[in-house]
Chain A
């Protein structure tokens, strides 16, 4: 992968999502400048930028910003991203003054233009849909009806995801219950598995490795636009998986998925599972 893209990816995942000050000092230059048209003043240096990142996480405790696509050339990397969060924390500084917690969720698109010199990001020019953010948080009046969440419906989407897509391998259900912009986000993959074709490919790959795979949801809870599910899987390893050839081993693994629902469909799932333990059971790592 293009080494500049690696730096940009670390900027989003480790600094903006992970609030990692050490990484900020490692990959941002001392004279780093961050500009955004809706911020009157730029943010300078790794420490100045960390101030902005901390403010975002304090206003939106579940804040996220996830790259969707990167284009690189010369000293530049441009990233198209999607970011959001729920305004349950401290006040948000806006052009309309400080806005106290609204309890509302927002998700917007944006782009970031990075300049990279000598292995460090020297400039970040952001453009994002601040208007959409202000409308969704209710800071500006919107003619659109407020989004109401149907928690039972949201839980049913998660249950159908595990039962019909993952356990039964019914690929037709993917387009029915997932948003076209769906992203499957898992630490073992450098980028989200995004969109219908890629996710269908992933489900087929998983089911080729474990044809009898069965997901069981152990507990599940819904709040706002999120559903969290704790699950286990059992299956027999009859095909290649993440480089491990078929072993015939029966494996069992546990994990937690967090789903985000938008317009009645699943738009993303963040997955955490015991990858290390799974690879041990496949004999790919010493146990």
Chain B
């Protein structure tokens, strides 16, 4: 039980300290540099690394704020069900800034090894995001 609680604590730092406090230094403490990062493979945009994805998202949506709705852990995995709200006040993947407010929700699975995130899978509603930005 101790291990899964420790793993949940690492993932909470990912949401609250990295994304909500925008503290990039936390990334080195909670994740290995070459996290295997599984973005939905059907999409054209594939962030090369977790760090790059964080930087891309933050420059487009500097006020992004996540809410963690549910979490569970089993073995070396932690699952989070999340939502975010953000304002598009920066350039997003080459598109013009819209100043629009957006929200999305999704599920991430994390694999933890030796106290660090080593692999993660992301499921989110990218179609809905692009609709909210009036791209589609």
A-B interaction: yes
B130 near A: Cβ within 8 Å?
yes
Interface flags for A108-142 (1: CB within 8 Å of B; 0: not) read 11110100000000000101111111111000101
Query: B73 touching A76 by the CB < 8 A rule?
Result: no
Known contacts A37-B105, A76-B72, A127-B123; is-contact A109 B40 (Cβ 8 Å): yes
Query: B42 touching A132 by the CB < 8 A rule?
Result: yes
A96 to B123, alpha carbons, bound, how many Å?
Answer: 21
Residues of B within 8 A of A144 (CB): 44
Known contacts A38-B127, A95-B127; is-contact A131 B42 (Cβ 8 Å): yes
Residues of A within 8 A of B121 (CB): 80, 109, 111
B29 near A: Cβ within 8 Å?
no
A71 near B: Cβ within 8 Å?
yes
Known contacts A74-B72, A95-B127, A131-B43; is-contact A125 B77 (Cβ 8 Å): no
Query: A129 touching B72 by the CB < 8 A rule?
Result: no
Chain A residue with the shortest CB-CB distance to B72: A73
Chain B residue with the shortest CB-CB distance to A115: B70
Residues of B within 8 A of A143 (CB): 44
The CB with the most chain B CB atoms within 10 A, among A71, A132, A143, is that of: A71
Known contacts A78-B72, A140-B136; is-contact A37 B109 (Cβ 8 Å): no
Residues of A within 8 A of B105 (CB): 37, 127
Query: B131 touching A95 by the CB < 8 A rule?
Result: yes
Query: A129 touching B42 by the CB < 8 A rule?
Result: yes
A69 near B: Cβ within 8 Å?
yes
In the complex, how many angstroms separate the beta carbon of B38 from the nearest chain A beta carbon? Answer: 8
Query: B106 touching A127 by the CB < 8 A rule?
Result: yes
B97 near A: Cβ within 8 Å?
no
A73 to B79, alpha carbons, bound, how many Å?
Answer: 10
CB contacts under 8 Å to B, within A56-109, are 69, 71-74, 76, 78, 80, 95-96, 106-109
A71 to B136, alpha carbons, bound, how many Å?
Answer: 34
Residues of B within 8 A of A78 (CB): 72, 79, 107, 109
**How big is chain B's contact interface, by range?**
20 to 34
Residues of B within 8 A of A95 (CB): 127, 131
Interface flags for B117-128 (1: CB within 8 Å of A; 0: not) read 000010111111
A136 to B79, alpha carbons, bound, how many Å?
Answer: 28
CB contacts under 8 Å to A, within B45-94, are 70, 72-75, 77, 79, 81
Contact among B44, B79, B106, B126 with A71 in the assembled complex (CB-CB below 8 Å): B79
In the complex, how many angstroms separate the beta carbon of A93 from the nearest chain B beta carbon? Answer: 14
Known contacts A71-B74, A125-B81; is-contact A111 B107 (Cβ 8 Å): yes
Query: B74 touching A130 by the CB < 8 A rule?
Result: no
Interface flags for A145-169 (1: CB within 8 Å of B; 0: not) read 0000000000000000000000000
Shortest 7 CB-CB distances between A and B: which pairs? A132-B42, A129-B40, A73-B72, A127-B123, A111-B123, A131-B127, A37-B125
- Chain B residues near A (Cβ < 8 Å): 4, 38, 40-44, 70, 72-75, 77, 79, 81, 104-107, 109, 121, 123-128, 130-131, 136
Q: What would be 9 A-B contacts, judged by CB atoms less than 8 Å apart?
A: A80-B109, A80-B123, A109-B42, A110-B40, A110-B123, A129-B41, A131-B126, A133-B42, A135-B43
Extra contacts, 15 of them, besides A127-B105, A129-B41 (Cβ < 8 A), are A37-B125, A71-B77, A71-B79, A72-B72, A80-B121, A80-B123, A95-B131, A109-B40, A110-B123, A111-B109, A125-B107, A127-B125, A130-B125, A130-B126, A131-B127
